[in-house]
Amino acid sequence: MGGFPILSVMTFLPLAGALLVMLVRAATAGSSRGETSAQARRAVLLAAVIISAATFAASVAAFFAFDRSATGYQLVEQYAWYGPISYKLGVDGLSLSLVMLTTFLTPICLLASWNSIDKRVTEYVIAFLVLETFMIGVFVALDLVLFYIFFEAGLIPMFLIVGIWGGKDRVYAAFKFFLYTLIGSLLMLIAMVYMILAAGSADFEVLEKFAFAPEIQTWLWLAFIASFAVKLPMWPVHTWLPDAHVQAPTAGSVILAGVLLKMGGYGMLRFSLPMFPDASAMFQPFMFALAVIAIVYTSLVAWRQTDMKKLIAYSSVAHMGFVTLGIFAFNDIGIQGAIFQMLSHGLISGALFLIVGVVYDRMHTREIAAYGGLVSRMPIYASFFMLFTMANVGLPGTSGFVGEILTMVGGFQAATWAAAGAALGVIFSAVYMLTLYRRTVFGEITNPQLSDIKDMNLVEWICIAPLAALTILFGIAPNLIFNLTDSSTTRILSLMAGGQ
């Protein structure tokens, strides 16, 4: 990029866009107080979509400037800040892939709010744009303090999105989400302070090469995993997720499942494995056990749900169990599978929440029993729903298959019992997803309110079609992702083995 600070521009462009949104709102606001006119609402949302689309364009520019054959961090920007702390940004294949997922999903989320959000639209858009800055910052920060600032700051806009624009129990869900994630992160902060004092630097590249004593690694690993386990989330600290998903607006659920959950897996790959390799190896059986429990238990819980959003939320916990399995397999195929699974799940789960949002906007209920026979009134909707149902089950030809099979193969090489337990989750996912699809799409229409329900409109098409295209594309050509993340996987394994 010729020295151009593309990462800083990409990170803070949404924040600058939040200011622009306020200016647009001031210029187009109606004379009435407390209500947003239709013209002002559309102008605010359009401005936000344009800004987030520009951020995606910046991430694409970063992608083309990235050398996929090189190892280590690229596009690095570094400026002295205070003592051992610096403003340092950079990306490798792992972080760049998650950045692109973030910048791709954000404009879709904002566009999906076009008809569903009609109160405090300016504040809603600002919260989303600020959240995007913090999410990108997590993945590009190469300084421990800078990472923690972005990691924790993201709680605030997400807390507001759930607590203000959510359902009837939104305040309870927002506080539960906030407290769970904050308490876990406080332990990580204590560990970070120790690491900076011990190594004399907050730089990731310095800390990756610093040899912490094995007994110290144990405590540091536990402190970090306390935060990442909640964020992922892992069983048994997953209970905040279904409440947050059910109460969040549709776009909030999309970004929560699509990006925020991935911060837990990213943290394990960025910190737990390369910086605390001895502790990671010691806790491998423990992590396998938690992964298998999460996959099997939450799949069974998902099967018994009556709320569509809650079912998909429990499904997310199960699919994140595959991510944990692949990460702690400590082999190339497992880690590649885990990264692929994170990206694939971001697309599929985001699409499923949008699918639920389509009928919720029309019927104002997420109860499965309220539906049935939708295929006769919404054939296009039923087709998209079928695609993402099959992808979530792991049908070959979709991205869902690639991530699950690779994590299980990697897990099989490390522990046969763990892979066998995870395989049960694949069976259970077919049970609950096909049951959901049958009960909502097939059968006779028994609810009179469904007799004149309309199929997907243009905005809903624009939001869901790109997700469908990528789900199929990555299922057929997974090397598009592997070519980007291969060098990162090799580097993580090298650092674990003590290489440079």
| Predicted local confidence at residue 34, as pLDDT | 42
CA proximity to 214, closest of 278, 154, 288, 159: 278
Instruction: Take residue 391 and report the two structure tokens written for it.
Output: 């992808």
Q: What's the burial of 53, exposed, middle or buried (CB within 10 Å: 0-12/13-18/19+)?
A: middle
Which tens digit of pLDDT belongs to each residue from 343-384?
Answer: 999 999 999 999 999 999 999 899 999 999 999 999 999 999
* Residue 353 covered by a domain: yes
Q: What's the burial of 23, exposed, middle or buried (CB within 10 Å: 0-12/13-18/19+)?
A: exposed
* Residue 129 covered by a domain: no
Query: What kind and span of H or E run contains 60?
Result: helix 38-65
Separation between Cα atoms, residue 404 and residue 277, nearest integer Å? 24
User: 462 in helix, strand or coil?
Assistant: helix
Instruction: Assess contact for 434 and 420: CB atoms under 8 A.
Output: no
User: For the chain, which ranges sit under pLDDT 50?
Assistant: 1-2, 30-35, 499-500
Which tens digit of pLDDT belongs to each residue from 206-251?
Answer: 999 898 998 999 999 999 999 999 988 998 888 899 899 889 999 9
* Residue 154 covered by a domain: no
Separation between Cα atoms, residue 211 and residue 106, nearest integer Å? 39
For 50, list phi and psi in degrees, rounded to 5. Answer: -65, -45
Range of the domain at 394: 283-500
| Predicted local confidence at residue 498, as pLDDT | 74
Q: What DSSP line would sit under 338-367, residue for residue?
A: HHHHHHHHHHHHHHHHHHHHHHHHHHS--B
For 102, list phi and psi in degrees, rounded to 5. Answer: -65, -50
Separation between Cα atoms, residue 295 and residue 260, nearest integer Å? 19
Based on the structure, what is the number of domains in the chain? 1
* Residue 320 covered by a domain: yes
* Residue 250 covered by a domain: no
3-state helix, strand, coil in the chain (%, to 5): 75, 5, 20
* Residue 455 covered by a domain: yes
Separation between Cα atoms, residue 47 and residue 53, nearest integer Å? 10
Separation between Cα atoms, residue 324 and residue 229, nearest integer Å? 9
| Predicted local confidence at residue 28, as pLDDT | 59
Separation between Cα atoms, residue 359 and residue 449, nearest integer Å? 12
- Alpha carbons within 13 A on the beta-carbon side of 62: 33
Instruction: Take residue 322 and report the two structure tokens written for it.
Output: 């595959």
| Predicted local confidence at residue 43, as pLDDT | 82
Separation between Cα atoms, residue 191 and residue 194, nearest integer Å? 5
* Residue 277 covered by a domain: no
The amino acid present at 82, given as its one-letter code, is Y
